[in-house]
C-alpha cells in the first residue's frame, strides 16, 4: 500500500473517530488531520495480526534460554578461575563455547524453518512446544554432567 493510500485511509477513518489519542490520551473528536492536536503524534490506521504464541515461539524460547545456560556456565568457569587467581581451564570453557556455537546455529536454522514448523500437524506442534520448554533443562544437564564426568 502506498503512503498516500495509507494517509487517505487514516483520514477517512479519523473523520468518524471519537476517542483518546493513543499517546497522550487527549480526546480526539473527528480530527481532520493525522496529527494529534495536543501532542503532535502521527495517527495511523493499520491492520495488525495479534501476537499468538506458537510451538515455534516456544522452541525458539528454549534455544535462546539454552544459549543463556551456556553463557552462564562459561562465565562462571571463567569468573571463578579469575577470582581464585588460577589459570583459565580451557577444558571446561571450550565445550561451553562449542555448544554456544551449536545452539546459535540452531537458532538461525529454526528461524529459517518458521514456515515449515507452522505447517506441521497439531501433535508435532505439541511435541515441539513441550520440547522447547524443557530444552534449557536438558542442555543444563548435558553440560553439567559432561563437566562432572570429565573433570
Ligand atoms: Zn496526543
Same domain, 41 and 59: no
Same domain, 7 and 73: no
Task: Find the 51 Cα to ligand 1 centroid distance in Å.
Answer: 25
pLDDT of residue 69: 93
Residue 20 three-state SS? strand
Q: Are 63 and 135 in contact (CB under 8 A)?
A: yes
pLDDT in tens, 46-98: 888 889 999 999 999 999 999 999 999 888 888 888 888 888 888 888 888 89
Q: What is the dihedral of CA 69, 75, 78, 83, to 10 degrees?
A: -130
**What's the pLDDT band for 25 if we cut at 50, 70, 90?**
very high
Task: Find the 4 Cα to ligand 1 centroid distance in Å.
Answer: 22
Which triple of cell numbers denotes residue 121? 500437524
Same domain, 67 and 129: yes
Task: Find the 43 Cα to ligand 1 centroid distance in Å.
Answer: 9
Same domain, 33 and 82: no
Cell 477517512, located at residue: 12
Same domain, 16 and 79: no
pTM of the model: 0.69
Same domain, 40 and 76: no
Average pLDDT of the residues in 10-32: 94
The answer to whether residue 1 scores a pLDDT higher than 70 is no
Q: Containing domain of residue 39, as a range?
A: 1-48
pLDDT of residue 20: 95
pLDDT of residue 4: 77
Same domain, 117 and 136: yes
Task: Find the 23 Cα to ligand 1 centroid distance in Å.
Answer: 5
Q: What CA–CA distance (Å, rounded) separates 144 from 146?
A: 5
Task: Find the 27 Cα to ligand 1 centroid distance in Å.
Answer: 8
pLDDT in tens, 113-138: 999 999 999 999 999 999 999 999 99
Please enumerate in sequence order all residues whose Cβ is within 8 A of that of 16, keeping only pairs 6 or more positions apart, or say none: 30
Same domain, 70 and 109: yes
Classify strands 18-20 and 27-29 as parallel, antiparallel or unpaired: antiparallel
Same domain, 103 and 85: yes
Same domain, 44 and 75: no
pLDDT of residue 104: 96
The number of folded domains in the chain is 2
Same domain, 24 and 93: no
**What's the pLDDT band for 32 if we cut at 50, 70, 90?**
very high
Identify the sign of the CA torsion 5, 9, 15, 20.
negative
Same domain, 65 and 122: yes
Q: Are 69 and 143 in contact (CB under 8 A)?
A: yes
Residues lining ion ligand 1 (Cβ < 5 A) are 21, 23-24, 26, 36, 38-39, 41
Q: What are the residue ranges of helices labelled H in the chain?
A: 3-14, 55-84, 90-112, 114-118, 122-150
Amino acid at each position: 500500500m502506498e503512503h498516500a493510500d495509507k494517509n487517505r485511509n487514516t483520514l477517512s477513518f479519523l473523520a468518524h473517530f471519537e476517542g483518546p489519542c493513543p499517546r497522550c490520551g487527549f480526546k480526539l473528536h473527528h480530527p481532520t488531520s493525522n496529527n494529534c492536536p495536543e501532542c503532535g503524534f502521527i495517527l495511523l490506521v493499520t491492520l495488525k495480526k495479534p501476537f499468538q504464541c506458537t510451538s515455534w515461539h516456544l522452541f525458539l524460547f528454549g534455544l535462546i534460554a539454552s544459549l543463556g545456560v551456556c553463557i552462564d556456565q562459561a562465565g562462571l568457569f571463567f569468573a571463578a578461575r579469575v577470582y581464585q587467581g588460577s589459570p583459565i581451564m580451557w577444558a571446561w570453557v571450550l565445550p561451553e563455547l562449542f555448544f554456544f556455537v551449536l545452539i546459535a546455529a540452531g537458532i538461525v536454522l529454526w528461524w529459517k524453518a518458521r514456515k515449515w514448523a507452522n505447517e506441521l500437524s497439531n501433535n508435532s506442534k505439541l511435541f515441539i512446544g513441550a520440547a522447547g520448554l524443557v530444552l534449557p533443562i536438558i542442555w543444563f544437564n548435558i553440560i553439567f554432567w559432561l563437566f562432572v564426568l570429565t573433570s
